Amino acid sequence: MPAGDRLAGEKGRVVTHVKTDAQTSAANLEARFLEHRAKVGVIGLGYVGLPLARSICHAGFTTLGLDNDADKVAQLNEGRSYIRHIPADDIGALVASGRFRATSDFAEVSGLDAILICVPTPLTRHREPDLSFVLGIGRSIAPHLQAGQLVVLESTTYPGTTMQELRPELEAGGLKSAVDFFLAYSPEREDPGNPVHSGTTVPKVVGGDGAEATALACALYDQVAVRTVPVSSVDTAEAVKLTENVFRAVNIALVNELKVIYSRMGIDIWEVIEAASTKPFGYMPFYPGPGLGGHCIPIDPFYLTWKAREFEVPTRFIELAGEINATMPSYVVERLALALNDRFAKSLKGSRILLLGFAYKKNVGDERESPAFKLVELLEARGARVDYYDPYVARIPLSREHPHLAGRTSVAWDEIFAGGYDAALICTDHDEVDYTALVEALPLVVDTRNATRGLHGVRDNIVMA
């Protein structure tokens, strides 16, 4: 007979509230989370999954990392790290403790209490959502799914993905969500290399397929993150992540457009932003750049615009922001071309250009969707000879959109000063770069990140773009 709660009813009658199997299973799983006895698996050990697995392990859970990349698995099991801001010593200590191990065998999910999915959600060549990684993982783990497990998708996606796309793949193995296993969505909020806000200090939004799934996801993440924020549905949780990144994309587009306007007026956008930031209300600073990068901001808004078409709702504001941000690499290259011509009567064709920084943001080695890819292509299309320097990206990896750039390597820092470069274009403002030495050594420096701000008015070879 299923377990039940015996409560005093009206007129002294004893009323038995019989728990369903799902409720009993949920209660048992919640206890394992609260007592840190659960075994947690993280699928996808990239810039989101590996920090998450590390945080879960540090919280005291036995953690299994799963990834199709055998090289990543081998490095982790040897106590090495392939992400610069995650120390190898930390990975080594977790492996040595016996609480962390990596594998490519997805059959091992059968022994887990919770399965967290952190795989890419890119765009196709037609700028439509590509859910192949998410659905592929669903098919891989469905045969091994066990009753009583919690499955949480963390990959950024449009509302409806978890319930309409992933759930059928998981249920193909015979178990049913909210009956046999528990399904939830909790968007990742990782900011690689951020020294202030790490995965554990950022609240986790959670939406589940039913009350039990939501409560269970909260019980797990409560042990890892500073706090959880439950919402009413899976779709709402998915919308939260898109809203966060659409907000950033739109505001970056606005400040990029202001940059172009103020440049024509002879006004420094960076000085404007600094002064505007002194207002304690009604203003939030966003910063211009050479284009959008990373796996979120250049991609996520298009997930929403694609889904909105299903409901016949136009997304003009979001699409306009995307268009503005997409023009920034061309704008930057044109600024460089004009500066070369005005100062040295030299064209881009035949010029040697040093691209400073290849990562999409400073102080990390993540080059995904970096505007550097587009900048190199645009410069070389106009006949320039391009090298790059980046202390975090020693070699350009293979990518779907820019395979012809794969294998190129960063020049050494000392090579920059050997002479021969006509200009440097600052794409990424890594802190460890000596910008004073760079400006003193090269005839022209085009700065898209305000990295040379301390030299403005001191050196006349700096052009802001």
Q: Which pLDDT tens digit goes with each residue over 183-217? A: 999 999 988 777 777 778 999 999 999 999 999 99
- Across the chain, mean pLDDT equals 93
SS3 314: coil
For residue 57, indicate whether it is catalytic.
Answer: no
Parallel, antiparallel, or unpaired: how do β-strands 204-208 and 182-185 relate? antiparallel
Question: Over the range 39-49, which residues count as b (16 or more CB within 10 Å of their CB) and which as e?
Answer: bbbbbbbbbbb
Q: Which residues contact residue 211 at a Cβ distance below 8 angstroms, ignoring those fewer than 6 apart?
A: none
Distance CA 299, CA 387 (A): 27
Share of the chain above pLDDT 70, in %: 96
pLDDT at 14: 40
- Quick one: average pLDDT of 392-397? 95
Share of the chain above pLDDT 90, in %: 87
pLDDT, greater one: 286 or 23 = 286
- Per-residue pLDDT at 435 exceeds 80: yes
Annotated catalytic residue within 57, 118, 218, 296: 296
The structural architecture, per CATH, of the domain 4-232 is 3-Layer(aba) Sandwich (3.40)
Both tokens of 79, joined, read 């106590």
- Quick one: average pLDDT of 419-429? 95
pLDDT at 208: 98
- SS3 per residue for 386-436: EEEECCCCCECCCCCCCHHHCCCECCCHHHHHHCCCCEEEECCCCCCCCHH
- The number of beta carbons lying within 10 Å of the beta carbon of residue 359 is 25
pLDDT at 20: 63
Confirm if 150 and 181 have CB atoms less than 8 A apart: yes
Q: How far is CA 208 from CA 111, 167, 181, in A?
A: 22, 12, 11
- Per-residue pLDDT at 16 exceeds 60: no
H/E stretch holding 329 reads helix 328-344
pLDDT, greater one: 401 or 233 = 233
The domains spanning 235-326 and 328-465 adopt the same CATH topology? no
The structural architecture, per CATH, of the domain 235-326 is Orthogonal Bundle (1.10)
pLDDT at 295: 81
Q: Say what the pTM is.
A: 0.90
The structural architecture, per CATH, of the domain 328-465 is 3-Layer(aba) Sandwich (3.40)
- Per-residue pLDDT at 93 exceeds 90: yes
pLDDT at 9: 41
SS3 183: strand
Domain ranges of the chain: 4-232, 235-326, 328-465
Kindly report which listed range (237-246, 410-419, 422-431) carries the lowest average pLDDT score: 410-419
Distance CA 2, CA 16 (A): 11
Kindly report which listed range (161-165, 168-172, 432-436, 455-459) carries the lowest average pLDDT score: 455-459
- Per-residue pLDDT at 244 exceeds 50: yes
pLDDT at 199: 72
Q: By C-alpha distance, which of 249, 293, 278 is closest to 449?
A: 293
